[in-house]
Amino acid sequence: MIKGLFKLFILFIVYSTVVSCSEQNIPDLPENPGNTNQGIASIDQTQINANGGGFIIRVKADGTWQASSSETWCTLSRASGNGNGSISGYMKANTEAERSVIITIIAGKEKAEFTLKQLAGNGSNPDPDPSPDPDPNPDPDPEKPSGYAGRIEIPVLKGGSMNIFHTWTTKENGKETVTYSYEYDCTKKHVRWVAFTFDNYTCQSNVKRSDAWKEDTNIPAQYRTSKSDYNPEYTRGHMVGSGDRVYSRAANEQTFYYSNMSPQQQAGFNTGGGVWNNVEDQVQAWGQINNPADTLYVVKGGTIDKEEDIRTRTSTGVAVPKYYFIAVLSYKNKQYKGIAFYVEHTNNKTNLIKRYSMSIRELEQKTGINFFHNLEDAIENNVEINYNPSDWSWKEG
């Protein structure tokens, strides 16, 4: 089972052949003072810390091109392409002296060469994944990527040049704490999903709602949303709820990025008494963790991948999901169990939410998303297929 190796966030923007948003129109890299441009290619950073991390290279070429890394501990998501394209690079954690790698891009007679440095390590190899069963041999695996994308709660990334993966973190008590991760679809101006965990620290209620609304600069400006993108018919519905992250002020503020918002029907859905509000409250109740060895893994999202599962779009092009879903994985007493929900986006005041529960495998069939793939295969298959509502405590009468 592949676990996280890296402390830096990883922004996955990988190759896709989607007709409506080809790589000829890939968005520019987010503004970053570390960006380096060498004609046919640019890179978003040239220094990675000792804990490892990711970087992005954008290629702008008229014909075919090749890419290579001079070191095996630095891998590239692809070695060639045709026309404009993007490459995700990954560095393993470094436990020894400072080291460097050369990334070379060749397109015809043109050449770009980037030297990346990785800072010296301290002899340890920290793992940001809070899983109670760390992998003792975390080598890169293209099917189960490393870094934050290798965390248990992260689904299989759709990738493609118009999908952005990002992980928000904060420093809590001198330790990095993962707030949540998301994969954002630029063509829909909406996240495909968000993923986060409850443990005995992140389940705590220490602060109040911050209302710290702000735009997410990780999203290119032309695909970014703001308050004006949500018309009066809908509310700005949190995907990671404000109430999901009240263990610290900084974490709560990160739930108010507009990339975390979905245009949701207010009455009978996203307010008290509404079915979605009740499902979210139930998951929060399950997230009250007492044992430091236990964790609740949560993936939430709205259906935007298929046109038939999009209810409509706002006047500015933001997709309005027809359905919302949650996949939940519980690790308690050294045992895993799973459950999922799939709720239509409509006026429905009910607290009888058990009727909307299902197995994770059934939710995968409805959404096309592969959840919890970073588990060992045997564990994944077991928790996704086996589902028993009586295994869970319910707030409903």
- The two tokens of residue 175 are 């330790």
How far apart (Å, rounded) are the C-alpha atoms in residues 270 and 71?
50
Q: Give me the pLDDT at residue 122, please.
A: 59
Does the pLDDT at position 109 exceed 50?
yes
Helix axes 360-367 and 377-385, enclosed angle (nearest 10): 90
CA dist list (Å): 11 to 123, 149, 360: 27, 9, 26
Q: Binding-site residues for Mg(2+), please?
A: 270
The backbone region for 49, taken as left when phi is positive above 0, alpha when psi lies in -120 to 50, beta otherwise, is beta
What are the two backbone dihedrals, phi and then psi, of residue 356, each rounded to the nearest 5 degrees?
-100, 5
Does the pLDDT at position 129 exceed 90?
no
> What H or E segment, with its residue span, contains residue 113?
strand 110-118
The residues spanned by each domain of the chain are 36-118, 163-391
Q: Give me the pLDDT at residue 119, please.
A: 87
Quick one: which of 336, 321, 348, 316 has its CA closest to 385?
Answer: 336
> What H or E segment, with its residue span, contains residue 379?
helix 377-385
Q: Binding-site residues, please?
A: 270
Residue 178's pLDDT band (cuts 50, 70, 90): very high
Q: 3-class SS at 282? A: helix
Q: Give me the mean pLDDT over the 230-255 stretch.
A: 94
pLDDT tens-digit map of 243-278? 999 999 999 999 999 999 999 998 899 987 899 999
DSSP state of 217: T
Beta strands in 203-246 (DSSP E): 235-238
Considering 190, 238, 345, 373, which one is annotated as catalytic?
Answer: 238
- The two tokens of residue 177 are 């704490």
Asked if the 36-118 domain carries CATH number 2.60.40.10, the reply is yes
Q: Give me the mean pLDDT over the 218-238 stretch.
A: 91
DSSP state of 46: S
**Residue with the larger pLDDT of the pair 362 and 86:** 362
Residue 130's pLDDT band (cuts 50, 70, 90): very low
Q: Give me the pLDDT at residue 75, please.
A: 81
How far apart (Å, rounded) are the C-alpha atoms in residues 122 and 386?
43
* Residue 188 CB partners (closer than 8 Å, separation 6+): 304, 310, 318, 319
Q: Give me the pLDDT at residue 301, please.
A: 97
Percent with pLDDT over 90 in the chain: 58
Say whether 166 is catalytic.
Answer: no
Q: Give me the mean pLDDT over the 54-59 stretch.
A: 81
How far apart (Å, rounded) are the C-alpha atoms in residues 259 and 219?
8
> What H or E segment, with its residue span, contains residue 195?
strand 190-198
- The two tokens of residue 236 are 């700005």
pLDDT tens-digit map of 344-393? 999 999 999 999 999 999 999 999 999 999 999 999 999 999 999 999 99
Q: Give me the mean pLDDT over the 60-66 stretch.
A: 88
The CATH T-level fold of domain 163-391 is: Extracellular Endonuclease; Chain A (3.40.570)
Say if CB 299 and CB 326 are below 8 A apart: yes
